[in-house]
């Protein structure tokens, strides 16, 4: 989906501004008195309270926002965000955008604070009986006027009884009257912590010394171009940039995550600890919104049936992504089935090319392989190697990935070397992958940045025995998973 930027000459600026105001007039005509009150509340951080109190229509608020340079024809994102929060996304047509486009821009462009959004969402879920009980509990501090849930929360905020860092009163009210609302408060706390962590990381990056010499090439020029687009706060250009650089993650479901978990073999050693890996992968990708299917001790014929099933699965059409994990023994460029047939990784991945699986075309297809890619070595008692002696000559690693766009192959180790697995705690690679997905998805990091952190983590493990993972990919855009609303607890499974 693309977003067309309307070009116009400088001589037609007045007509353009007039056209924008006419579109704002259309939005105003579709917002009733209740919506105006909601809009006032959501704009409390942008417009003075006195000005908002005097505002009688949405147009008054729009004027204030334009005076504050928060709303313009070039950058109407704040209004688009407000309309989405208020569930008036049908009015986005007057801003020449869609709900999906706004949603994809939120991680980098959002302006409404988490605290303001929390209070608004709580006000929408507090029914009349709950409101009556809450008012009763704090009656002494409230004026004797009729209140809505929104004005009630607004009064608590005005009296400094609640703020972004102090939700004690609000939590006590919700626990006493409407415990179901605590989920929203817990979600807010998690998102606030993630936001602050990202801010701290940005401050560290800014304080780092800049390189003394830099000769930008094609990639550098592109990066500067993208930076200029975003820094200009041009909403339409930002939409184009986001759509061009990030895969969509807003369809009906996230997609399937298939896990092949081979523990037992005919003559090869048992892969103790692999069930820990499978469980952690299940927890993490479930948390990310995937539908999980685990297959244990898969023979060659069974694997072919599994591949055919997902190659033709009708639900791919409504999914964002596809993940396929293989936990087994292996050698360079291939993995072993439980009946010890050697299956090329490329053969597995080839089932999901655009030609073989059209419903996954233009969608990211991620494959994670926990298996050795080289000859077996002698290990300590608690460490095993997922290795079988390799062929004398090995093809290039890139040959393992189909020559098509949108694939990622994450290998536990570089070609020619073993990968390690603890008998009780699971493999170094899968455990690091789960840990950094858990830690970095809430920070809006893309999958390649996450795999870079995995590389660093795994490369530091061990003393005399070392391991270096390696991703190979033909991705065209960034894979950034939406931040899950629920907290992920991995500690009880030692996924850390």
Per-residue confidence band for 197, with pLDDT thresholds at 50, 70 and 90: confident
Q: Please, which residues bridge with residue 260 across strands? A: 295, 326
What pLDDT is attached to residue 409?
A: 92
372 is catalytic: yes
- Range of weakest confidence among 123-137, 303-317, 385-399: 385-399
| Angle at the Cα of 218 from the Cα atoms of 213 and 220, rounded to 5 degrees | 45
Under 8 Å CB-to-CB from 356, ≥6 apart: which residues?
311, 350
Under 8 Å CB-to-CB from 74, ≥6 apart: which residues?
232, 233, 234, 235, 236
Query: SS3 letters for 236-304?
Result: HHHHHHHHHHECCCCCCEEEEEEEEECCCCCCCCCCCCHHHHHHHHHHHHHHCCCEEEEEECCCHHHHH
Segments of the chain assigned to CATH 3.40.50.1460: 253-493
Per-residue confidence band for 54, with pLDDT thresholds at 50, 70 and 90: very high
Q: What is the pLDDT of residues 18-46, one digit of tens each?
A: 789 999 999 999 999 999 999 999 999 99
More confident residue, 148 or 469: 148
- Catalytic pick from 321, 357, 372, 434? 372
Per-residue confidence band for 379, with pLDDT thresholds at 50, 70 and 90: very low
- Catalytic pick from 64, 155, 316, 329? 329
- Range of weakest confidence among 159-173, 343-357, 407-421: 407-421
Segments of the chain assigned to CATH 1.10.533.10: 14-112
Q: What is the pLDDT of residues 85-111, one digit of tens each?
A: 999 999 999 998 888 888 888 888 889
> In the CATH scheme, what is the code of domain 14-112?
1.10.533.10
Q: What is the pLDDT of residues 226-264, one digit of tens each?
A: 444 344 445 655 555 565 689 999 899 999 999 999 999
444 is catalytic: no
DSSP three-state, residue 387: strand
Q: What is the pLDDT of residues 430-444, one digit of tens each?
A: 999 999 999 999 988
What pLDDT is attached to residue 145?
A: 86
CATH fold of 253-493: Rossmann fold (3.40.50)
Instruction: Kindly report the average pLDDT of the chain as a whole number.
Output: 81
pTM of the predicted structure, to 2 decimals? 0.53
If you average pLDDT over residues 210-219, what whole number do you get? 38
What pLDDT is attached to residue 120?
A: 95
């Amino acid at each position: 989906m693309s977003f067309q930027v309307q070009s116009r000459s400088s001589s037609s600026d007045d007509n353009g501004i007039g056209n924008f105001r006419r579109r704002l007039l259309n939005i105003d005509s579709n917002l009733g008195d209740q919506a105006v009150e909601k809009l006032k509340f959501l704009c409390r951080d942008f417009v003075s309270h006195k000005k908002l109190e005097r505002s009688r229509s949405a147009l008054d608020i729009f004027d204030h926002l334009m005076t504050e340079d928060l709303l313009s024809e070039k950058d109407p994102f704040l209004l688009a965000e407000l309309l989405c929060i208020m569930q008036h996304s049908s009015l986005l047509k007057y801003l020449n955008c869609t709900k999906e486009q706004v949603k994809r821009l939120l991680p980098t462009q959002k302006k409404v604070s988490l605290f303001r959004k929390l209070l608004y969402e709580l006000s929408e879920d507090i029914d009349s009986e709950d409101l009556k009980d809450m008012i009763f509990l704090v009656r002494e501090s409230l004026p004797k006027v009729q209140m809505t849930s929104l004005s009630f929360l607004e009064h608590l905020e005005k009296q400094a009884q609640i703020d972004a860092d102090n939700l004690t009163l609000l939590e006590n009210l919700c626990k006493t009257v409407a415990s179901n609302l605590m989920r929203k408060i817990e979600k807010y706390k998690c998102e606030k912590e993630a936001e602050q962590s990202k801010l701290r990381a940005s401050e560290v990056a800014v304080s780092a010394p800049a390189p003394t010499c830099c000769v930008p090439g094609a990639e550098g020029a592109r990066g500067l171009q993208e930076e200029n687009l975003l820094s200009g706060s041009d909403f339409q250009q930002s939409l184009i940039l986001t759509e061009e650089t990030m895969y969509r993650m807003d369809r009906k479901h996230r997609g399937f995550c298939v896990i092949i978990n081979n523990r037992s073999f005919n003559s090869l050693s048992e892969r103790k600890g692999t069930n820990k890996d499978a469980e952690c992968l299940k927890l993490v990708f479930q948390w990310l919104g995937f539908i999980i299917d685990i297959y244990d001790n898969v023979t060659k014929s069974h694997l072919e049936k599994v591949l055919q099933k997902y190659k033709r699965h009708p639900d791919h059409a409504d999914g964002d992504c596809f993940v396929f994990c293989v936990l087994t023994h292996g050698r360079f460029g291939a993995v072993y089935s439980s009946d010890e047939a050697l299956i090329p990784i490329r053969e597995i991945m080839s089932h999901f090319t655009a030609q073989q699986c059209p419903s996954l075309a233009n969608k990211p297809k991620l494959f994670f392989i926990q298996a050795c890619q080289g000859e077996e070595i002698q290990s300590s008692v608690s460490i095993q190697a997922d290795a079988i002696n390799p062929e004398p000559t090995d093809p290039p690693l890139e040959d393992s990935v189909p020559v098509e766009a949108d694939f990622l192959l994450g290998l536990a180790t570089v070609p020619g070397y073993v990968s390690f697995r603890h008998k009780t705690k699971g493999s170094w690679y899968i455990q690091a992958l789960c840990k950094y997905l858990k830690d970095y998805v809430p920070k809006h990091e893309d999958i390649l940045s996450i795999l870079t952190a995995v590389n660093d983590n795994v490369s530091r493990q061990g003393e005399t025995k070392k391991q270096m993972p390696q991703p190979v990919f033909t991705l065209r855009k960034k894979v950034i998973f939406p931040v899950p609303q629920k907290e992920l607890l991995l500690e009880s499974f030692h996924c850390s």
